[in-house]
Amino acid sequence: MHIEDGILSAGSLITYYGITAAVAVPGVLQMKKRVLDSPYYKPLTAMVGVAVFVISSMHLPVAVTGSCSHPC
């Protein structure tokens, strides 16, 4: 989602950053633990990241507006 600068208030930004941190920090810690437990997890994570990047770079036409969008 692309939002112009200054559209969101400071309160909403703090709320969104708090929610993001509450989800991202445990996820990163769990990924770190899994990488230490299994050496095969790091390449798998990298390949999933590559797949998400490739899929998000595909442009899909939007018939109603005549513009393009991307899946991610």
pLDDT digits (tens), the chain, 72 positions: 566 777 888 899 899 999 999 999 999 999 899 989 998 998 999 999 999 999 888 877 777 777 777 776
Considering the entire predicted model, what is its pTM? 0.60
**Residue 24 and residue 11: Cα distance in Å, rounded?**
20
Q: How many CA atoms lie within 13 A of 49 on its CB side?
A: 6
What pLDDT is stored for residue 47 in this prediction? Answer: 95
Q: Where do the structural domains in the chain lie, given as residue ranges? A: 1-37, 39-72
What pLDDT is stored for residue 20 in this prediction? Answer: 96
> In Å, how far from its chain's centre is CA 30?
17
What pLDDT is stored for residue 1 in this prediction? Answer: 52
What pLDDT is stored for residue 6 in this prediction? Answer: 77
